[in-house]
Amino acid sequence: MAFDEARFGLINWHRRRYCPAGFRPPWIMRRAYKWTYLYAAVDPTSGESFCAYLPGMDGGCLEAFLKHLGEAYAEHHLLVVLDGAPSHRSEGISYPENVSLLRLPSYSPELNPVERWFQEFRRALSNRSFESVGLLQEALTQVLEPYWEEHARLQRLTGFSWWVEAISML
C-alpha cells in the first residue's frame, strides 16, 4: 500500500475562475490558521483505501494510524510504501507486526500514488471557505466517498503502470 498524509486547512487554495471581460473574479478569503491532517493508505492495484483524520503530523499520529491500519487488515501482511518525512523516520515509533515499511527515495513525491489522489482533493476544495475544521472534514469526506464506493475510480487514478507491473511480478 502507498501511504502519505496531507494537511488541509481553513486557508483555501485558489484556482482560475471565470469572470466576464473587464471584471476581476471575486476571491473568497479566510485567514484562519487551523488544520486537519488526512492520513491515507491506498492499494493502487485494487483501488482499496484506508483513511483517517488526525490532529498533527508527528510520530505519535503515524503510530496510531499504522496501528488502525494493521487492525483493519489483520489477516494480511502489509508492505507500506512511504516517503522520508521526519515523522516517518522517528525512532520511537512501534510498528504493528503485520506492517513492514519501504521508503521512497528522497525528494520523489511523483513516485507516490497517494499524492495524485491528494491533488484531486485540493482541486475539489479550491476556491471554498470553511468556518471550522469540522466543516472542512465533512467536505473532504464528501470528496472521498465516490472513491470509497467505486474502487475502480481510485484504481484508475493511482494505478501507475510501473507500480501494477511490480506488484504483479511479486
pLDDT level of residue 73 (50, 70, 90 thresholds)? very high
Residues 113-168 pLDDT 10s:
999 999 999 888 887 878 899 999 999 999 999 999 999 999 999 999 988 888 88
H or E element: which one contains 122? helix 113-125
User: Rounded to two decimals, what is the model's pTM?
Assistant: 0.87
User: CA 106, 96, 67, 147 torsion: positive or negative?
Assistant: positive
For residue 4, which amino acid is it?
D
Domains, the chain, ordered by start:
2-10+30-162 (3.30.420.10)
pLDDT level of residue 85 (50, 70, 90 thresholds)? confident
* Strands of the sheet with 99-103, listed across from one edge: 48-54, 35-43, 2-9, 78-82, 99-103
Q: Residue 35 has which C-alpha cell?
A: 488544520
